[in-house]
Structure 1
Amino acid sequence: MMRLEHLNLVVRDIPKALEFYRAIFPHWQVRGGGKSTWHGVERNWVHFGDDYQYLTFNDDGDADNRDLTGHQVGMAHFAFVTDDLDGVIARLAQIGRDIDKPGAEDPFRRNVYFIDPDGYEVEFVEYLTDIPTLRNRYD
């Protein structure tokens, strides 16, 4: 078996990143952190997650993220599956974050996209069935 353990994100401001992701994952916590040097630049870092998966935030970001409407090489978005999409939307609304774009209409899943404080597009998907052929339709 293989699973994704963590994403390592370069951000400008760790507290702003934590505010956004704490709204999504209220049960997660800062697992650890410290200071390091990356190619000659000092930075702070934290691991935010649970015992099995986490996000790393490094605060040495010094430029804008890629233009999500463009065609540059880079991350387009990453996604999390949730059993409570309405709860995620409500918690992000409480910190002033609106849906950036809705997902496609589909009888077997709901999804929305948000932009985090550093310009990463984050998708949230709630599947409405456990049947893989219905969850993963491509027509």
Structure 2
Amino acid sequence: MMRLEHLNLVVQNLDASLAFYRAAFPHWQVRGGGEGEWHGVQRKWLHFGDEYNYLSFNDGGKGKMRPNEGYDLGLAHFAYVVSDLKSLMARMEQAGFEIAIKGREDTYSDSVYYLDPDGIEVEFVQYLTDIPSERNRYV
């Protein structure tokens, strides 16, 4: 078996990032954190997730993200499967976050994209079928 355990994100502000991801994942918690030096720079870090998956945040990020609409190298977005997209959207709106992109309409899935406080694009998708051939259509 192989699965993705975590993503390590460099952010500008830990609290701002936590506000976004707490709205998206209310069942997750801060698993741990601390301070350390990374290539001569002091920074704080924390792990936010559940027992099996988490996001690692490291503060002190500098510079700008690649343009999401461009073709520059780098991460374009990452996605999470959710069981109730409407509830997620309501939580995000209540926390003050707006949808950046509405995914394409499809019989078998629905999705939305948000930008986190640092401009990282995060997709949330709800599949409306358990049949793999319907979930994995490329039309």
TM-score of the superposition, structure 2-length normalised? 0.98
Question: Where do residues 1-139 of structure 1 align in structure 2 (5 Å cutoff)?
Answer: 1-139=1-139
User: What fraction of aligned residue pairs are identical, expressed as a percent?
Assistant: 59
How many residue pairs match? The answer is 139
Residue 22 of structure 1 aligns to a residue whose secondary structure is: helix
Q: Which amino acid aligns with 1:59?
A: D
Amino acid in structure 2 at the alignment position of 1:89: M
Query: Which consecutive aligned stretches of 4+ in structure 1 deviate over 2 angstroms post-superposition?
Result: none
Q: d(CA) in 2 for partners of 1:68 and 1:137?
A: 24
- Distance in 2 (CA, whole Å) between partners of 1:126 and 1:69 is 23
Q: Structure 2: which amino acid aligns with 1:62?
A: K
Q: Which amino acid aligns with 1:40?
A: G
Distance 1:60 1:12 in 2: 5
In structure 2, runs of 5+ residues without a counterpart are none
For residues 81 and 113 of structure 1, the distance between their equivalents in structure 2, rounded to whole angstroms, comes to 12
Deviation at 1:43, TM superposition (A): 0.5
Partner letter of residue 96 of structure 1? G
Shift of 1:37: 1.1
Deviation readout 1:25-54 (Å, 9 max, x if unpaired): 111100000011111111000000011000
Provide the C-alpha distance between the structure 2 equivalents of 1:95 and 1:27, rounded to a whole number of angstroms. Answer: 15
Once residues 15 and 102 of structure 1 are traced to their aligned partners in structure 2, the CA distance between those partners, rounded to angstroms, is 26
Letter in 1 for 2:47: H
TM-score where L is the length of structure 1: 0.98
Cα displacement (A) at 1:97: 0.7
Which runs of 5 or more structure 1 residues have no equivalent in the other structure? Answer: none
